[in-house]
């Protein structure tokens, strides 16, 4: 069997995604690998495929118990022998699993890092042929990352104790240069194949909304997406409770999750969500890492997160199956206050010096600032995100709320010059309120106290409203003509770009939405057809959607019987593809994306029968348009011949 056979047989796919093959080939040739790919890009396959082709066992280190459980469940369902070893098992169970593992019963073993150098695990590792050691969420090894876990350092000790060094593979979605270097250096990767794939997730629609009442927005959105699975992230436990209750009051099947709940309650909540019994999850950021639910169709942020790293990771939990999905951030200026408060009250890390802690605080402040600009920018949101993560190439978007909105553009260079002059004249010592008040020529007590009326710029924009002046200042901030200091005073400072504006070398254009952004862009989002695929309702006709619902019900039933999540049976994408192809026999069914040999053996006939019952045993065209699917490619042609 080669890698394509494995891909089709166990995973049901016919083509590798960007970057997967490079990493698989490198690992198979005995080289260490470092894969940096966004959430949902398909990192797991990069070590699961080699694991099945290598002679011995692959050990996968993963920080989260829920992740291990999910992955092992999915692997076993695909016909791959796998097990996990972590604190959710009793010592007796662990001993049993390790002895089975030592007999070579499993190809893949997931383990928590703290397990590695226990005598039992070491004994097992010495006895078997260890082909590959995979470090998932590898950024946890970097002290500079956001999720440093000291237990990850045990991996290094583990490798040192092994007689023979296996291939080491490290995977993460965190892309910063420092974290990348840390991983490579701390893990001691040898001449690794490093692969950083594009961070663009084409199937995700990004939107920033500023609704007057967030609760109304959420309720309307969730109702419009009834039957779909989604996550609503809130900044605080209090918000989680409130949003959860407001949804339950309207009979929406929601679950909630935050660190204030007991572990049993959290576990039940999570399972309710994963099994689609309660497809809407309201949670703090404590929820989600390692949740591999592929059919999350939307992620709403009720509050702005603290950084784009956090945002992209959380929003990225939408659409892991590659189907069009939406990421909506609800912004209000209050979120800035909540986040500043949270950052100010964040505990210092006792392992760092005061200086290092100060550096961390400053970095957090800068990250928050960039997050705020994301919420305020009128430019393409996708491009903003990708630029933040260091991608400079041009992107084709047309799939974010700003690209979908119509803007009026106004040249505000004259006003910008006045703003810059005012900031310079007042000694760069004030924040946005004082500067706006000065330009307005306002007569507030605070301004009198500062004596700003003596400046020439006092009242120089008196024909404008305060809101307009602030909007212009915000534009200058997003253009990085101005910056704000990272302390609680948030003083406005000029950058080198301010000189270019002052000398009329750089025009400043203000973009303002032409119409009500809330209503219209939500609609635009729904209309939005992503570059990578059409929304199900745009692809399937009414009969097609009807068949989809039947297949979905069948999937739920089968999943319940075996107590596994529905998406482990088949993904939404697979069901959609079945509705398009209406397979009537095994050969045709195996052409459906996500249907491999094992999956077919487990569920194939039930789905074939359901399709035949629906179409009367005949082929039926259940989709709009000509041919919805691409012709076979070189990689998958052999399966089309079968
Ligand atoms: P990551 O770990 O990078 O966040 P996963 O490994 O969980 O992502 O993969 C995300 C989804 O993409 C899974 O549902 C997986 O089955 C699917 N996937 C991975 N590789 C392919 C592929 N080559 N073709 C189609 N789907 C794929």
Phi/psi at 136 (5° precision): -85, 155
- Residue 162: pLDDT over 60: yes
How large is the average pLDDT for residues 521-549? 65
Percent of the chain with pLDDT over 90: 63
- Nearest CA owner, ligand 1 atom 5: 42
439 three-state secondary structure? helix
State which of 9, 34, 44, 565 you would mutate to test the pocket of ligand 1, scoring each by most atoms of that ligand within 8 A of its C-beta. Answer: 44
407 three-state secondary structure? strand
As a whole number of angstroms, the distance between CA 38 and CA 18 comes to: 11
- pTM for the model: 0.73
State which of 39, 45, 316 you would mutate to test the pocket of ligand 1, scoring each by most atoms of that ligand within 8 A of its C-beta. Answer: 45
As a whole number of angstroms, the distance between CA 352 and CA 309 comes to: 22
> Which residues does 443 contact at the CB level (< 8 Å), separation at least 6?
none
| Mean pLDDT of the chain, nearest integer | 88
The secondary structure element, H or E, covering residue 34 is strand 33-36
pLDDT at 71: 87
Q: How far is the CA of 82 from the centre of ligand 1 (A)?
A: 18
pLDDT at 518: 40
136 lines ligand 1 (CB under 6 A): no
Q: How far is the CA of 44 from the centre of ligand 1 (A)?
A: 7
pLDDT in tens, 288-325: 876 778 899 999 999 999 999 889 989 999 998 888 99
Compute the half-sphere exposure of residue 458: CA atoms within 13 Å on the CB side of its CA: 14
Q: How far is the CA of 591 from the centre of ligand 1 (A)?
A: 18
pLDDT at 525: 42
pLDDT at 388: 87
Q: Of 128-137, 380-389, 633-642, give the range with the top mean pLDDT.
A: 128-137
Q: Which residue has the higher pLDDT, 128 or 407?
A: 128
Q: How far is the CA of 321 from the centre of ligand 1 (A)?
A: 7
Ligand 1 atom closest to Cα of residue 292: 7
State which of 20, 320, 321 you would mutate to test the pocket of ligand 1, scoring each by most atoms of that ligand within 8 A of its C-beta. Answer: 320
As a whole number of angstroms, the distance between CA 386 and CA 384 comes to: 6
As a whole number of angstroms, the distance between CA 21 and CA 28 comes to: 10
pLDDT band of 538, cuts 50, 70, 90: confident
- Nearest CA owner, ligand 1 atom 19: 42
Ligand 1 atom closest to Cα of residue 13: 24
17 lines ligand 1 (CB under 6 A): yes
pLDDT at 627: 53
299 three-state secondary structure? strand
- Residue 531: pLDDT over 60: no
Beta strands in 93-156 (DSSP E): 108-111, 130-135
Dihedral in degrees, nearest 10, Cα atoms 564, 569, 571, 574:
-170
pLDDT at 436: 95
Q: How far is the CA of 78 from the centre of ligand 1 (A)?
A: 14
Least confident segment among 189-198, 609-618, 623-632 = 623-632
37 lines ligand 1 (CB under 6 A): yes
- Residue 634: pLDDT over 50: no
pLDDT at 528: 35
Least confident segment among 309-313, 497-501, 584-588, 633-637 = 633-637
**DSSP state string for 157-216:** HHHHH-SSPPEEEEEES---HHHHHHHHHHTT--S-EEEE-----TTEEEEEE--S-HHH
192 lines ligand 1 (CB under 6 A): no
pLDDT in tens, 221-246: 999 998 899 999 999 999 999 999 99
Q: How far is the CA of 219 from the centre of ligand 1 (A)?
A: 31
pLDDT in tens, 568-627: 899 999 999 999 999 999 999 999 999 999 899 999 999 999 999 999 999 889 998 765
312 lines ligand 1 (CB under 6 A): no
Q: How far is the CA of 8 from the centre of ligand 1 (A)?
A: 13
CB 270 within 8 A of CB 257: yes
Ligand 1 atom closest to Cα of residue 322: 12
pLDDT in tens, 99-125: 998 888 999 999 999 999 999 999 999
Least confident segment among 142-151, 209-218, 623-632 = 623-632
Ligand 1 atom closest to Cα of residue 136: 2
pLDDT at 534: 62
Query: CA gyration radius for the chain?
Result: 27
The secondary structure element, H or E, covering residue 484 is strand 482-484
CB 206 within 8 A of CB 382: yes
pLDDT in tens, 317-374: 999 888 899 999 999 988 988 888 888 887 777 767 787 778 778 888 888 999 999 9
296 lines ligand 1 (CB under 6 A): no
State which of 42, 48, 75, 565 you would mutate to test the pocket of ligand 1, scoring each by most atoms of that ligand within 8 A of its C-beta. Answer: 42
Total residue length of the chain:
642
42 lines ligand 1 (CB under 6 A): yes
As a whole number of angstroms, the distance between CA 480 and CA 422 comes to: 17
Q: How far is the CA of 19 from the centre of ligand 1 (A)?
A: 12
Q: How far is the CA of 494 from the centre of ligand 1 (A)?
A: 45
Domains of the chain (ranges, CATH numbers) = 3-196 (3.40.50.300), 204-404 (3.40.50.300), 407-513 (1.10.10.10), 540-639 (1.10.150.80)
**Burial of 606 (C-beta count, 10 Å sphere; 0-12/13-18/19+):** middle
pLDDT at 577: 93
Ligand 1 atom closest to Cα of residue 173: 3
pLDDT band of 642, cuts 50, 70, 90: very low
46 lines ligand 1 (CB under 6 A): no
pLDDT in tens, 33-81: 999 988 778 999 999 999 999 999 999 999 888 778 888 988 999 999 9
pLDDT at 321: 86
29-67 burial: b if 16+ Cβ within 10 Å, else e: eebbbbbbbbbbbbbbbbbbbbbbbbeebbbbbbbbbbb
Task: Give the residue among 302, 290, 308, 353 at the shortest CA–CA distance from 328.
Answer: 302
292 lines ligand 1 (CB under 6 A): yes
**DSSP state string for 232-294:** EE-SSHHHHHHHHHHHHHTT--EEEE-TTS-HHHHHHHHHHHHTTSS-EEEE-TTS-TT---T
Least confident segment among 349-353, 446-450, 554-558, 634-638 = 634-638
pLDDT at 290: 66
Q: How far is the CA of 572 from the centre of ligand 1 (A)?
A: 13
39 lines ligand 1 (CB under 6 A): yes
């Amino acid at each position: 069997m080669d890698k394509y056979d494995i891909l089709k047989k166990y995973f049901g796919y016919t083509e590798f995604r960007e970057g997967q093959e490079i990493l698989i080939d490198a690992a198979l040739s005995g080289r260490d690998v470092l894969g940096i790919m966004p959430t949902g890009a398909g990192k797991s396959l990069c070590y699961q495929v080699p694991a099945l082709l290598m002679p011995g066992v692959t050990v996968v280190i993963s920080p989260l118990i829920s992740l291990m459980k999910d992955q092992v469940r999915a692997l076993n369902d695909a016909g791959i022998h796998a097990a996990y070893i972590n604190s959710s098992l009793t010592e007796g169970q662990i001993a049993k699993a390790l002895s089975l593992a030592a007999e070579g019963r499993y190809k893949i073993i997931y383990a928590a890092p703290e397990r590695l150098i226990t005598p039992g695990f070491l004994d097992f590792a010495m006895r078997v042929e260890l082909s590959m050691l995979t470090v998932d969420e590898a950024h946890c090894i970097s002290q500079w990352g956001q999720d440093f876990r000291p237990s990850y350092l045990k991996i290094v000790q583990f490798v040192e104790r092994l007689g023979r060094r296996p291939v080491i593979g490290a995977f993460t979605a965190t892309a910063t240069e420092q974290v990348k270097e840390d991983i490579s250096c701390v893990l001691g990767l040898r001449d690794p194949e490093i692969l950083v794939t594009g961070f663009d997730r084409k199937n995700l629609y990004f939107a920033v909304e500023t609704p007057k009442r967030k609760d109304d927005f959420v309720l309307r959105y969730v109702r419009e997406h009834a039957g779909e699975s989604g996550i609503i992230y809130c900044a605080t436990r209090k918000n989680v409770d409130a949003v959860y209750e407001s949804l339950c009051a309207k009979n929406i099947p929601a679950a909630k999750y935050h660190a204030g709940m007991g572990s049993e309650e959290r576990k039940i909540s999570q399972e309710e969500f994963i099994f689609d019994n309660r497809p809407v999850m309201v949670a703090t950021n404590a929820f989600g890492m390692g949740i591999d639910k592929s059919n999350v169709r939307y992620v709403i942020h009720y509050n702005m997160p603290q950084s784009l790293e956090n945002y992209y990771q959380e929003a990225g939990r939408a659409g892991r199956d590659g189907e069009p999905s939406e990421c909506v951030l609800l912004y209000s200026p209050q979120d800035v206050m909540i986040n500043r408060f949270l950052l100010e009250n964040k505990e210092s890390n006792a392992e760092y010096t005061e200086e290092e802690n100060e550096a961390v605080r400053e970095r957090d402040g800068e990250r928050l600032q960039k997050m705020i600009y994301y919420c305020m920018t009128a430019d393409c949101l996708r491009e903003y995100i990708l630029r933040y993560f260091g991608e400079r190439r041009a992107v084709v978007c047309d799939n974010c709320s700003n690209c979908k909105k119509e803007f009026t553009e106004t040249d505000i260079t004259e006003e910008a010059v006045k703003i810059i002059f005012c900031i310079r004249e007042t000694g760069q010592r004030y924040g946005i309120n004082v500067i706006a008040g000065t330009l307005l020529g306002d007569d507030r007590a605070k301004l009198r106290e500062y004596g700003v009326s003596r400046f020439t710029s006092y009242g120089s924009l008196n024909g404008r409203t305060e809101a307009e002046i602030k909007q212009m200042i915000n534009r200058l901030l997003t253009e990085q003509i101005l910056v704000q200091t990272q302390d609680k005073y948030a003083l406005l400072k000029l950058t080198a770009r301010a000189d270019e504006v002052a000398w009329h070398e750089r025009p400043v254009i203000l973009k303002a939405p032409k119409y009500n952004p809330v209503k219209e862009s939500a609609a635009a989002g729904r209309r939005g057809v992503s570059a990578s695929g059409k929304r199900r309702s745009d692809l399937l006709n009414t009969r097609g959607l009807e068949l989809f619902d039947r297949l979905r019900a069948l999937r739920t039933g089968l999943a319940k019987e075996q107590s596994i999540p529905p998406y482990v049976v088949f993904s939404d994408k697979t069901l959609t593809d079945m509705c398009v192809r209406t397979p009537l026999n095994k050969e045709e069914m195996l052409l459906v994306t996500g249907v491999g040999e094992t999956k077919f053996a487990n569920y194939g006939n039930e789905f074939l029968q359901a399709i035949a019952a629906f179409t009367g045993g005949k082929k039926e065209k259940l989709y709009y348009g000509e041919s919805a699917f691409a012709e076979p490619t070189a990689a998958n042609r052999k399966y089309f011949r079968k």
